Amino acid sequence: MVVDIPDLLVQLLVAVATGALIGLERERRERRKFAGLRTMALLCGAGPITVEIARTEGQPLVLGFYFVLALGLAFGTAAVRALHSGNDVGFTTSVTVFVVALLGILIGYGRFFESTSIAIVTVLLLAERERLHGYVDSLTDEELRDSLTLGALVFILFPILPDEAIDPYGIVVLRDVLLFVIFVLLIEFSSYVLMRQLGGSKGLAVTGLLAGGANSLAAAGVLARLTNESEDAVTAASFALLLATLSMIVRNVGIAVVLAVELAWLIWQPALAMGGLTVASAAVLWRTGETTEDLGIDLESPFSLRSAAKFALAYVLILLVSVGAGELFGGVGLLATAFAGGLVSSAAVSVTAVTVFTDGTVGGETAVAMVVLGIVASLCSKIVLVEFVNSEMRKEAVVPMALVGVAGLATVLLGLVVV
């Protein structure tokens, strides 16, 4: 026997749980109990009931009364807090009350995913109050300016840039170039924060591991630039670059396997060869190299727009080379195209390889070869960029990456993957 649970009951339970989650955070400390678990749960739970009445009875004004109730509760909370806390009023709880009311309405309209996502973000903001305030207190004028600059690039300039090529050959898209710049700045900012929190070598290592999965070329440029500021950072940055390479390999292989599980039995050998050699190189470098937590790098500013612009120029040049290679060697077939495309985006090559495999255009061996060539091309572009920015990383980063690329090619040319 199947029990048909009314939609309103489901919405009510979700709303009560959502309000209780936020109220639980508000009630963690005694001084915050001006609108706690029960208040938030009941307020949010009233949202779906209000929406149901407005919908079935044709009374949209009920929603207005509900919002008036939420505003009254918000102002009342602020007033009570003022009476108990004197000058330390604060409006966080009052704003939270109104947000909970809005979440109740969203749940009443069946927007479960949106409401729960907003609730989780809200709880995180509330729970990290001290850490956020500490960050703001330690924020310098230069850091604030850089943050505003990044915000302007992301939220103002990026949306208005054209998403079509500006050159007659259809190659350079300003929005893609700016996206690369944003990646560079975000990686610089991440390395800045992590180096302050974890120390020089460890901070760079985490930066490489995380940034490599997002944009390994941008990560290579940032890490190479940091070595120009301090010779002590060469080993740490090289180790971080090897971790970024590992992340890139795992990402591309993961894309291929997730989208086409059948390729797992064909790609594990080149993946093991390249990934294992990368891990081994990184391990040897970490054990034998000179790493220190004080790299002597100036951490006063997390951003360098000038270096980001230089990397953007290098990105455009690599893009031109990749397109030119595709035109020049297009007759060779998909493998040449995979290598040319991998100079800019090896992840895109993995997606393309899976696409042509699933539609029957190529076999599994050729698809795997395309993925491997995309990775090798990505390594080539990083090697060129690092050599251009700082050749001091040649022994500890460039040579290992070149060997990883050779290992990948060997799996194809020596029969581990038959093309």
pLDDT in tens, the chain (419 residues): 445 667 888 889 999 999 888 888 777 665 555 667 888 888 889 889 999 888 887 777 888 888 888 888 878 776 776 666 655 556 777 788 888 889 999 999 988 888 888 888 888 888 776 666 665 665 566 666 767 777 788 888 888 888 887 877 677 788 888 887 888 777 777 766 666 666 667 777 888 888 888 788 888 888 888 787 777 778 888 999 999 999 999 999 998 998 888 888 888 889 999 999 999 999 998 888 666 665 555 545 556 667 677 767 777 776 676 666 555 654 456 677 788 888 878 888 888 888 888 878 778 888 898 899 999 999 999 999 888 888 888 889 999 999 999 999 898 777 544 44
Q: Indicate whether 125 and 159 sit together in one domain.
A: no
Does residue 224 lie within any of the structural domains?
Answer: yes
Q: Indicate whether 202 and 123 sit together in one domain.
A: no
The Cα–Cα gap between 236 and 396 comes to: 10
Does residue 266 lie within any of the structural domains?
Answer: yes
Q: Indicate whether 276 and 362 sit together in one domain.
A: yes
Where in the sequence is the domain holding 60, given as residue range(s)?
Answer: 7-135
Q: Indicate whether 204 and 119 sit together in one domain.
A: no
Q: Indicate whether 165 and 299 sit together in one domain.
A: yes
Q: Indicate whether 123 and 247 sit together in one domain.
A: no
Q: How far apart are the first and last CA of the chain?
A: 57
How many other CB atoms sit within 10 Å of the CB of residue 389?
22
Q: Indicate whether 254 and 184 sit together in one domain.
A: yes
Q: Read off the tokens for 78.
A: 């602020």
Nearest of 84, 89, 92, 101 to residue 40 by alpha carbon: 101
Contact between 338 and 347 under an 8 Å Cβ cutoff? The reply is no
Final residue before a domain boundary, out of 135, 166, 195:
135
The count of domains in the chain is 2
pLDDT at 1: 45
Final residue before a domain boundary, out of 135, 166, 183:
135
Q: Indicate whether 111 and 154 sit together in one domain.
A: no
Residue 304: phi, psi to the nearest 5? -140, 95
The Cα–Cα gap between 327 and 8 comes to: 60
Q: Indicate whether 260 and 285 sit together in one domain.
A: yes
The Cα–Cα gap between 267 and 293 comes to: 38
Does residue 2 lie within any of the structural domains?
Answer: no
- Non-local CB neighbours of 157 within 8 Å, separated by 6+ positions: 178
Q: Read off the tokens for 192.
A: 């800045």
Final residue before a domain boundary, out of 79, 107, 135:
135
Contact between 412 and 377 under an 8 Å Cβ cutoff? The reply is no
Does residue 419 lie within any of the structural domains?
Answer: no
pLDDT at 2: 47
pLDDT at 326: 53
Q: Indicate whether 166 and 114 sit together in one domain.
A: no
Does residue 1 lie within any of the structural domains?
Answer: no
Does residue 107 lie within any of the structural domains?
Answer: yes
Does residue 140 lie within any of the structural domains?
Answer: no
Q: Indicate whether 157 and 115 sit together in one domain.
A: no
Q: Indicate whether 168 and 203 sit together in one domain.
A: yes
The Cα–Cα gap between 327 and 385 comes to: 23
The Cα–Cα gap between 189 and 281 comes to: 27
Does residue 141 lie within any of the structural domains?
Answer: no
